[in-house]
Amino acid sequence: MYKPSTIYADLFKDVQLSEIFSDSKTFVDAIPKYDCEKINQDYQVQSAEPDFDLLHFVTDNFQLPHYHEVESPSNNSLESVRSEIENLWQQLSRGNNTRDDKTCSDKKIDAQSSLISLPKPFIVPGGRFKEIYYWDSYFTMLGLIESGKLSMVESMIENFAYLIDHVGHIPNGNRSYYATRSQLPLFALMVELFAEQQQDEAIYTRYLPQLEKEYAFWMAGAESLLNHGDSEKRVIKYQDTFLNRYWDESCAPRDESYLEDIRLANECDCQASDLFRNLRAACESGWDFSSRWLSDYTSLHSINTTQIIPIDLNVVMFKLESVLAKSYTLEDNHSAADRISQQAKRRKTLIQELFFSEEQESFVDLTLNDFSQSPVLSIATSVPLFFKVATDNQAEAVAKTIREKLLKLGGWVTTEQVTGQQWDSPNGWAPMQWFTYQGLRNYGFNDDAVEGALRWVKNNVDTYHTTGKFWEKYNVESVGCSGSGGEYSVQEGFGWTNGVLLKFMNELDVGDYN
C-alpha cells in the first residue's frame, strides 16, 4: 500500500515540516509524476545543492491536488437550493477507481497514490476531502435517496463492503494513511436504509459477511479481557459484558497532519506516542476535535480519547449487534442470533444504567478506569433517542435538556464548551442535526424536532444566499455564516450538509427559497 511517509521518508518529513503548503494534507494527496524510487534518488542528490528549492522540486515531481473545485452558481440568489444540490451531486461524484487526477498513463506510476482504489462510483464530501469518508456517507445517502439516486447509494455500500473485505474494516476514508483506524460504524445503518428502500430483507443476508467482519474488527481483543475494567484496542470489559472506545493501530504523528502533531507534541509535557494515538482515536470518532476528548475540557494538550467510553459509539454498536441478530435470524442461524442478541441486550442495559446522568438529565460519556460520568454535555445525548435505546423517562429528560441548553438560533449546537475546536460551540453539524431531529421524533417530541430542524434549514439557506456555498459546518449561535475552528479552514461542498438539508426540506415541506 502506497504510504508517502514510508515511501519518501526524508522528503516527506522535510515537506511537512517546511510549511511550503498551508494544508498538511496537500503532500500526502499528491500524485507522483515519476517512479517513487527515481524521485527519492533525485531528492538525495538535488537537496544537497546550495540553491535547492524544495517547493520547486515538489511541483516538478508531483501533481498537487486542487481542493476547491466546487463551482458556485453565477447568481445564487436566484438559484433554487434543491437544484443546486442536484448540481453538487454531479460535482462531488467520483467514478470507480477513484482517480480524478489523471497525470500519466504509466500504470506503475498511476498505482503510486495514497488513494485506495474502489470498484464503484461514490460521492466525496468536498473541499480538501477528495475521497470517500465512512460516517459522512450515511448522511449523504439520505439526500441521494431524496434525489432518486438509489443506484449511487448501492454503489457506495458496495464500496464499503469491498473495503471490509480487502482492508479488514472500513477506514476513516479510502486513503492509505487512514487505514489504521475506522469511524463511527454506520455500515449496518446503511444496509438497513438500503433494505428498507428496496423493501428487500435479503439485503441483510447479502451483506452479512461484511457485517460480521465489521463487528469482529470493533471487538478484536475481547477474548483476552478477563477482569472488569480491562481494555484492549477498541474493547473494554465491564463485568460480564463489553463496551467500546475509539482507537488507532498507530501511535505515530498523522501523515495528513504531521506538522500539527509534531508541534503539539513539542508543546506537551506528555508521552508523544500517547498523544499521537489519542489524536488519531479522536479522528476515528469523527469529532476531531472536541472537549469530549480533553481531560481539562479546554486544551488539546490534554487530549485523552482512549480513556473515554463514548455514548454514541456504544449506541451504534448496539445497532450493529441488532442488525447482525436480524441477519442471522433471516439465515435461520438462531444460535448466532441468540448469542448476539444477548450481547445487545446487555449493552442496552448498560447504556441506560451507566451512561445516563440524572444530574445532567442527559446521556454522557464515561471515563476509564472508574466508569465515572463525564461532565461534558454534548449533542451526542440525542443518539440513544435516534436508535430508540432510551427509556421514555430518559428521553423526556434529554428532550428538555436539548431544548433548554443546546437549541440555538441556527440549529443544535455540538457542545456548550468554547474551545476553538470545531466540534464545540458555536458550531453545529449536519449529522447531529439529523440524529437529534429523528431522535426527538421517535419519542413524540415533534414540536422540538421540527423547531430545531427548521432553524438549521434557515441557517443553511441564508448562508448559501450570502456565500453561494454549502459548508461542512455552521455557526448556530447566529444565522448566515459557516462554522470555524479546528486544524483547517472551513470546507465547501458539502456531502452530508447537502444530504441532510435536502432530507429536511422534503420531510418538512420547505420551499425552495428562490
pLDDT of residue 72: 65
CA triple 453-194-85, angle to 5 deg: 45
d(CA 281, CA 122): 25
Q: Give the max Cα distance, the chain.
A: 72
Closest CA to 279 of 351, 186, 368, 172: 172
pLDDT tens digits along 319-359: 999 999 999 999 999 999 999 999 999 999 999 999 999 99
Whether residue 440 contacts residue 460, with contact meaning beta carbons closer than 8 Å, is answered with no
- Confidence (pLDDT) at 101: 41
pLDDT in tens, 260-278: 999 999 999 999 999 999 9
The pLDDT tens digits for 117-156 are 999 999 999 999 999 999 999 999 999 999 999 999 999 9
Provide the pLDDT for residue 512: 67
Reading phi first (left if > 0) and then psi (alpha if -120 to 50, else beta), residue 171 is in beta
Q: Is the pLDDT of residue 95 over 70?
A: yes
What the block records as the C-alpha cell of 443 is 419519542
What pLDDT score was predicted for residue 80?
Answer: 87
φ, ψ at 428 (rounded to 5°)? -125, 150
Q: How many residues does the chain have?
A: 514
Helix (H, G, I), strand (E, B) or coil at 145: helix
CA distances from 299 to 135, 295, 304 (A): 26, 8, 11
| Catalytic site positions | 288, 472
Rounded to whole angstroms, the Cα distance separating 192 from 214 reads: 15
Residue type, 174: N
* CA gap 320, 185 in Å, rounded: 8
pLDDT at 173: 98
- Look up the pTM and report it: 0.96
